[in-house]
Amino acid sequence: MGKRAKKTAPYIPTTNGKAEQFIKTLLVEWTNVMPCSNSSGRNELLPAYLRIYSGHRCRMALGSLTPRQRLA
């Protein structure tokens, strides 16, 4: 199973739901759970959050697997 980009129609949220949900999740979890006093500090924490998001958070849509487990 290879990776490939999937393009969606611009300005049509119904075709871009997964990206919209990811952004919402980032706003709720990354900015609130990992609070910082400035943007540069928050940017430094982004790689750590993405490792948690991709490697440790189970997804119901993936049968309770993490994205990393699903791709393996």
Q: What is the pLDDT of residues 1-28, one digit of tens each?
A: 577 887 777 777 777 777 788 888 888 8
Give the separation between CA 14 and CA 55, rounded to whole angstroms: 27
User: How is the chain split into domains, by residue range?
Assistant: 37-72
Q: pTM of the full predicted structure?
A: 0.54
- Confidence label for 33 from pLDDT (cuts 50, 70 and 90): confident
Q: What is the pLDDT of residues 40-69, one digit of tens each?
A: 888 888 888 888 777 777 676 777 777 777
